[in-house]
Structure 1
Amino acid sequence: MQRSLPMLLVLILMTSGCNPLFWREAPEPLLDRESLDLIARYTSKAQQAANSGDLKRAEELYMRALLLNPNSADLHAKLAGVYVAQNKIEKAMDEFKRSLILDPSDVPNRNYLGYLYEKQGRYQQAAEEYERALEMDPKNLYALIHLGLAYRQQRRLLEAEAVLKTAANIDPECKNPNSRNLYNHLGLVYQEMGKYDRAIEMYKRSIRLFPDDTWAHNQLGALYEALGRLYEAQMEFLETLKYDPHNSFALSRLSEIQQKVIAGRINVQPVEISPVEVSSILKDAPSRADYPEADAVVLLNKFSQEVGKNGISRFTVHQIIKILTWRGVRRYGQVAIPFNRRYQNIGVNVAKTYLPDGTILKPADDAFTDVTPPGLTEFNLFSDMMWKVITMPGVAPGAVIQYKATIEDIRGNLVEGKVWFWGGMSFQGYDPILRSEYDLKVPEGQPVFWKSYNCDLKPQIKREEGFTIYIWRYGRSDALRDEPGMPSREEIVPRFSFSSIKSWDEVAEWFNGLISEAKKAGPQISQKVGELTDGMKDEEEKIRAIYDFVASKIRYVGLELGKGVYRPHPAGDVLENGYGDCKDKVVLMLAMLDVIGVKGYPAMLSPRPEPDADESLPSPGQFTHLIVALPRGEGYLWLDPTAESCPYGDLPFADQGRRAFVIKDDGGWEFAVTPLFPAGRNLLSFRCSLKLMPDGSIRGREILSSRGQQAMIQRLAYRYIPQHRLREFLQMDLATRYPGAKVEEVKTDDPHGMRDPFEVNISFSAPQYPIRSDGSFTLIMPGYGFSDMAAMVAKESRRYSLDLGYPSLYEREVKITLPPGFKPEKLPEPISLENDLGRFERSVERTDDGLIYRMKFELDIGIVDPERYEEAKDLIETLAREDRVAVLIRRTGWKEAKAR
């Protein structure tokens, strides 16, 4: 980012009246015609001389013109331009001053004088000129931005921030050429103020507007590097090289960082609390004969954590795994270790493959890579989570792999001088585990609270040189047997959790401190709320408008809460950026509600399928999501502004029936359970009318109407279908029920809307059904299939509970009109089946001109205990068979017609 004077501006200065944006003619004195003509000739020749590069001649001609008219502000300014081009800055400034004496209101000339003061480092005089310019033109972007630069040079950082933010409010997308580096300037101000997160945000905003801005990429990379965020630094320098492959700064920094990363991979000291005899573990490793059904055996699964007095934690994961099959090779041939690239550094201490013949292999340098988890890239979501991937060499059945990696926090986690940390470990996985261990080392006197689940586990505790050490050990565990629809692993395996936090009071006070400033509403938010609620009188209508805006118009760009990433961005920034994660969207909504006088609270929860919150172990680590709770009588109205397709008043099923930690403004808190909505709130209704034509072809209409969870799914699905391909997509879907179908007309509700129901209405035609030799054909009742659910109940019995999803109501009605000469044969028998889990009903009735098929399935309980599995199996298999229900249609007189 440079601030040199372009030659183009010099030429503009020397062009008579050619750019009214910069120059205006000052009133001329009364001169005779001969003098005016002579001035015009001098001026014209001066411009020609300047254009040809003869600046000395241009200077001489302008001075001759000024002898005839010394009171021309425009001539003084043009002469100043010639002096600038000759680098005679002092003379140029004198001429600008004379010009401004004659025309004090000329803002562009005053800006130019200010710029020349800047060039000389005379920032106080520069600021005075820009301030005068702004007195006449308060929205002049050039003056605002350069005044910010002058203030910054004088270390008047708060004033610099204020004027630069004013410029950003005037031109937020930097469409004016003067604004090109606006956010870079703001980034520098914030960086010098020590507000590094704000500086990063400004550089990112500049890059969003100008992706090829290599200065911004380099500056952001350098800041990341200074903060120890080496992986993000590398990404920015690589972006620079994409636009400027020979950029020396980016190349040098990348080389330096790479050395740091490689050094870290080799030399970072792991956390060693209790010794591990690797040779003994390798010697005693079992064979395939010992575990004939396993693909691998985990010989050692160990985590070690050391918490310093400064709150910085270091973690070491150490695993040794015996590979037994080629499936095991595919599973463990690449090791992925998650880490947070913003708040953590990672180094690999050990990576080895032990072959059966005793050979030991180590990965090459290029076998270590950092990647974004696949689930994030698939949905184009941004997250700080990364994987350190190690491609292990020579992995084959019979080999043993060993890896040890250390993750360290970049900054300490101190809350009012107290060290905060939390964590835990599971002791069972999908392969047998012979030994699991978690070692925790904390400063002496530091409290640690723990709780075990699905096991009875107590730590060994000892003291050592000012530290207390806790060691949790768990012996052998069998492989977890997978079942369709089983609960999340954390619900059923032996595990434990720990925390250093004494009470929920501390958590509430801490989180209130994080969001109190962030959720304040500035003028920009008040203005937006005014636009959204303009003309509305009803408070509920206003709340709905705010919720719809935050949920559907503010883009979600994160995944989860996590350690160190609980602080939201200021609400004004979230609104300006148009994106944020769950906590960002919550603080924006709370700020907007505050504008209309409505009180709302943040509520932490752990969505399904994760374990629900345990009130007996205070820790923010239990929660991965944040929603809004609005007081309503004795309870709350719950809103999740992260759910972009969820209507007002509803909740995604993952949020339903969960213990939410509601944090109030006064430091108070309470746990409240979010509602679990009944089946009728989640409706999927399929209505179809089919008219069989005399030639055997079909004219039909299908209407799919949905509410609640079903509508959320449908809306999202239709949002991702390009509008120009919608008819093609629907025609492909229809063809699975009516071969050769052709879409005639499509009507859909707006998938970006936020109101139930969501409806899709399709009219279509299909060619003749194949008619058998006896004049009959089979008409399968159309609808959206349930056959896939049968796989969930294929087993005769279960070990774990069965998760059938959220309570739902499915309705299907098919009306078939037959032409004269066609009639249905024997109809399917009616069915009515009901138990505590739900109910199923089906009927098929004749009408005067055809038949009507009706089906209704209501699932009231989504989680089925193993003891009630047989009931669920009966209900689901009955439902699945409904996909094959058909009616035999016969054409009367078919044989006679064929004979004729």
Structure 2
Amino acid sequence: MKLNFYTLLLAVCLLFASQAQARPDNPDLLKGANAIVELEETVFTVNSLSKGTTRVKTVITILNEGGKEHAKLYVPHDKLNKVDFLKGTSYDRNGKKIKSLKNSDIKDVSASSADNEVLHNRIMYADLTHSIYPYKVEFEYQTTSSNMLFYPAWVPLGSSKTSVAKATFQVLMPKGVKLRYRESNLPQKVKQEATATHDVYNWEISNLAPIESEPYGPNMLEILPMVRTAPSDFEVQGYKGNMETWESYGKWVSKLNEGRDVLPEATKKKLQTMVAGIDDPMEKIGKVYNYLQSNTRYVSIQLGLGGWQPFEASFVDTKGYGDCKALTNYTQSMLQAVGIPSIYALVNGGSNERAVLTDFPSSQFNHVILCVPMKQDTLWLECTSQFESAGFSGSFTGDRHALLITPEGGKLVKTQTYTAQDNLQSRVATVKLDETGNGVAQVQTRYTGVQHEDHRDILHHMSPEEQRKWLYRNIEIPAFDLKSFAFDLKKGRMPEVSEKLELSLRQCVTMSGKRMFLTPNLMNRWSTLPQNTGKRQWEVVRTTAYTDVDTVVYEMPAGYTLEFKPNDTSYTTAFGSYKASVQVKGREVRYVRTLQMHKGRFDPEVYPTMVEFMNNVYKADMQQLVFVKNVQ
């Protein structure tokens, strides 16, 4: 049946041959696919150091509901990137035209959805969604850019459950202008040719079946076929630069920042008075950072060259707002005024952002932070937050490469790394149980490092009632009432949140006749298990490191005797370690559990070992003690 089904779908797709310039003649393209890119042509033409055009044509067969997003086209544009034209046509399963886009069908909307954004970024949007499958869409558009800081990346298999029959990428460079490129996971390398006016680079790929992700696999950008391109020499709004090395790229950014660090004299004097008599550099930095947080707010401002060039420090001082570039430049200027040197730094911000390709200098960053070299180590300042601790990078900018911007050029360095010991959740709970299996619990938990971030955020962004609702959603106890709660935030380079809970527990134990079954792990049971997918293709990647320590002390009701206690458990692997122990003394049950998980990359062959470890943790977390009621 499956073979016939795929054959039928293939036959339907072949009906589109009169409209398409390529056809899915490989049955494997249908397996697991919601859509087939029959043809994609991308042509990037560099006209000069300051201007280029990109033309894209796609022909896509949409097989089912899961592929309907391919019937929608989004083309971003701004003051430096213009949309020259946009066309689109759809065809039904018999090749009959359904619709051609009219100008009125193409929407032009703002890319901004937040109150704290001032952007010229917009999106042209077209929708050729049809309700009867399969059907085909053709899109063609061209953009012209005067921002040659960015050359395109070609990712022909950019969506999951999508296959590609044929895709081509062509780059035309004027004679004497150098193209830099980086190929990844391609079956065929570039083919070069030349015309009288241009050097031409051609890439082609065909018969790409969908790539299935694997649990704990690498970022998809690591395994997809891809070509990244970048300029050597470039120009943006009169600012010429070179990107062949990180050093030269950093010089261009430094040039953008020149002369923008001048503070009003009154502000300089105010800052110098603020730190008068303070010798400790860290204390001085804290004073300036508190001043920044108390007197400014973050507004994303992306207007023309402003996407890369900060507003002057005097602007931020007067207006009280700025984007990451402006606020970082302002903080750097204030620290300089009190005798603390610092360095403007580009970074890729975000908890799941891709790593910087260190061997391919290019514009890979989306955020700016401040680096403050100290005698013992380096302090990193996030200048856009009104509540972050000075020197804490956390999951947003920690443990990744940043590009330091100096007059001498750019230099790649690593930001603060947070270990499993840094990211701690330490909990102590006391539980008093009654004869019905209900109980009352007092719980105190300390969260540090990355593990404090969720609680820090709810403290600053939620009302007490919203915090209560959040706790009900996130406390992992089957049935309870939250009697009271309190949070306390302690700032520092390793910030922490203390949480106190008073809980009324319902059916905390299971009653069966004269027996009482107690699962001692009250709040931190391993709840999900990865699938053992058989032979694995990709590396095993763990992106978080943390330590959880739980101590739970139960006071059992009178009249019960221990009948069964599980043995102490201990596991140690490359991925992490686990140990749990239970002690029973009279009516007191003391349960101690420690789980430590490491981050890292591991060979595909060790994945079953990780699954086995997690299974063992899951089983150990579910172990029970059995108590039997004494016979009167």
Instruction: Indicate the TM-score class for this superposition, using the shorter chain for normalisation.
Output: 0.7 to 0.9
Shift of 1:557: 4.0
1:461 has 2:190 as partner: no
CA displacement, residues 642-673 of structure 1 (integer Å, 9 cap, x when unaligned): 46665333323353443332222x32432223
Q: Which residue of 1 aligns with 2:20?
A: 281
Shift of 1:560: 9.6
Structure 1 pair 756–421 and aligned structure 2 pair: CA distance change class (3 A): closer
1:12-31 paired onto structure 2 within 5 Å: none
Q: Which residue of 2 aligns with 1:567?
A: 309
Structure 1 pair 440–382 and aligned structure 2 pair: CA distance change class (3 A): same
Aligned counterparts of 2:125 and 2:491: Cα–Cα separation in 1: 38
Where 1:868 maps in the other structure, the secondary structure is helix
1:150-229 paired onto structure 2 within 5 Å: none
Q: Which residue of 2 aligns with 1:618?
A: 361
Aligned counterparts of 1:795 and 1:561: Cα–Cα separation in 2: 48
Q: 1:321 aligns with which of 44, 47, 60?
A: 60
Aligned counterparts of 1:357 and 1:552: Cα–Cα separation in 2: 65
Is the contact made by 2:432 and 2:554 (CA closer than 8 Å) also made in structure 1?
A: yes
Shift of 1:680: 0.3
CA displacement, residues 831-884 of structure 1 (integer Å, 9 cap, x when unaligned): 111122221111111134311111111112343331221222122222333543
Aligned counterparts of 1:407 and 1:656: Cα–Cα separation in 2: 36
Shift of 1:758: 0.7
Q: Which residue of 1 aligns with 2:415?
A: 674
Where 1:514 maps in the other structure, the secondary structure is helix
Q: 2:255 aligns with which of 506, 510, 513?
A: 513
Aligned counterparts of 2:302 and 2:403: Cα–Cα separation in 1: 16
Over the matched positions of the two proteins, sequence identity in percent amounts to 19
Q: Which residue of 2 aligns with 1:423?
A: 152
Where 2:619 maps in the other structure, the secondary structure is helix
Kindly indicate which of the two structures has a greater share of residues assigned to strand.
2
Q: Which residue of 2 aligns with 1:774?
A: 513
Structure 1 pair 283–303 and aligned structure 2 pair: CA distance change class (3 A): closer
Aligned counterparts of 1:548 and 1:800: Cα–Cα separation in 2: 46
Kindly indicate which of the two structures has a greater share of residues assigned to helix.
1
1:10-409 paired onto structure 2 within 5 Å: 281-282=20-21, 284-286=23-25, 291-309=30-48, 311-329=50-68, 331-337=69-75, 339-360=76-97, 361-371=99-109, 377=113, 385-394=121-130, 396-409=132-145
Comparing 350-359 with 301-310, greater Cα deviation is found at 301-310
Is the contact made by 1:716 and 1:751 (CA closer than 8 Å) also made in structure 2?
A: no
Is the contact made by 2:34 and 2:63 (CA closer than 8 Å) also made in structure 1?
A: yes
Q: Which residue of 1 aligns with 2:205?
A: 474
CA displacement, residues 224-280 of structure 1 (integer Å, 9 cap, x when unaligned): xxxxxxxxxxxxxxxxxxxxxxxxxxxxxxxxxxxxxxxxxxxxxxxxxxxxx9957
Structure 1 pair 873–772 and aligned structure 2 pair: CA distance change class (3 A): closer
Shift of 1:320: 1.0
Aligned counterparts of 1:546 and 1:797: Cα–Cα separation in 2: 55
Where 1:433 maps in the other structure, the secondary structure is strand
TM-score, length of structure 2 as denominator length: 0.84
Aligned counterparts of 1:297 and 1:600: Cα–Cα separation in 2: 51
Aligned counterparts of 2:122 and 2:113: Cα–Cα separation in 1: 11
Could you tell me which amino acid in structure 2 is paired with residue 452 of structure 1?
E
1:640-655 paired onto structure 2 within 5 Å: 640-642=382-384, 646-655=388-397
Is the contact made by 1:817 and 1:851 (CA closer than 8 Å) also made in structure 2?
A: yes
Q: Which runs of 5+ in 1 are unaligned?
A: 1-276, 414-418
1:737 has 2:477 as partner: yes
Is the contact made by 1:586 and 1:627 (CA closer than 8 Å) also made in structure 2?
A: yes
Q: Which residue of 2 aligns with 1:57?
A: none
Is the contact made by 1:552 and 1:645 (CA closer than 8 Å) also made in structure 2?
A: no
Q: 1:662 aligns with which of 392, 395, 404?
A: 404
1:485 has 2:216 as partner: yes
Shift of 1:565: 1.7
CA displacement, residues 3-35 of structure 1 (integer Å, 9 cap, x when unaligned): xxxxxxxxxxxxxxxxxxxxxxxxxxxxxxxxx
1:726 has 2:467 as partner: yes
Structure 1 pair 573–891 and aligned structure 2 pair: CA distance change class (3 A): farther
1:876 has 2:607 as partner: no
Q: 2:579 aligns with which of 841, 855, 860?
A: 841
Aligned counterparts of 2:533 and 2:309: Cα–Cα separation in 1: 47
Where 1:857 maps in the other structure, the secondary structure is strand
Aligned counterparts of 2:511 and 2:523: Cα–Cα separation in 1: 27
Aligned counterparts of 1:406 and 1:762: Cα–Cα separation in 2: 58
Could you tell me which amino acid in structure 2 is paired with residue 440 of structure 1?
V
Could you tell me which amino acid in structure 2 is paired with residue 720 of structure 1?
H
Shift of 1:403: 0.5
Is the contact made by 2:29 and 2:165 (CA closer than 8 Å) also made in structure 1?
A: no
Where 1:599 maps in the other structure, the secondary structure is coil
CA RMSD for the aligned pairs? 3.5
Aligned counterparts of 2:113 and 2:408: Cα–Cα separation in 1: 39
Aligned counterparts of 1:810 and 1:460: Cα–Cα separation in 2: 55
Shift of 1:789: 4.1
Is the contact made by 2:174 and 2:198 (CA closer than 8 Å) also made in structure 1?
A: yes
Shift of 1:448: 1.8
Q: Which residue of 2 aligns with 1:495?
A: 226
Shift of 1:389: 2.0
Shift of 1:401: 0.6
Pick the structure with greater CA Rg: 1
Where 1:313 maps in the other structure, the secondary structure is strand
Q: Which residue of 2 aligns with 1:748?
A: 487
Aligned counterparts of 1:309 and 1:493: Cα–Cα separation in 2: 30
Aligned counterparts of 2:64 and 2:139: Cα–Cα separation in 1: 19
Q: Which residue of 2 aligns with 1:542?
A: 284
Q: Which residue of 2 aligns with 1:137?
A: none
Where 2:48 maps in the other structure, the secondary structure is coil
Is the contact made by 2:428 and 2:444 (CA closer than 8 Å) also made in structure 1?
A: yes
Aligned counterparts of 2:175 and 2:296: Cα–Cα separation in 1: 46
Shift of 1:690: 0.6
Shift of 1:452: 1.5
Shift of 1:752: 8.8
Where 1:622 maps in the other structure, the secondary structure is coil
Shift of 1:574: 3.2
Structure 1 pair 336–539 and aligned structure 2 pair: CA distance change class (3 A): same
CA displacement, residues 492-538 of structure 1 (integer Å, 9 cap, x when unaligned): 12222222223434312211111222333334643664586577442
Structure 1 pair 655–386 and aligned structure 2 pair: CA distance change class (3 A): same
Q: 2:447 aligns with which of 706, 713, 721?
A: 706
Where 1:428 maps in the other structure, the secondary structure is coil
Aligned counterparts of 1:577 and 1:550: Cα–Cα separation in 2: 13
1:630 has 2:362 as partner: no
Is the contact made by 1:323 and 1:397 (CA closer than 8 Å) also made in structure 2?
A: yes
Aligned counterparts of 1:874 and 1:563: Cα–Cα separation in 2: 53
Is the contact made by 2:434 and 2:556 (CA closer than 8 Å) also made in structure 1?
A: yes
Where 2:336 maps in the other structure, the secondary structure is helix
CA displacement, residues 796-843 of structure 1 (integer Å, 9 cap, x when unaligned): 443222333221111111111124324444122211111222211111
Shift of 1:424: 2.4
CA displacement, residues 747-798 of structure 1 (integer Å, 9 cap, x when unaligned): 21149998622111112334576774623333333544454541x3453443
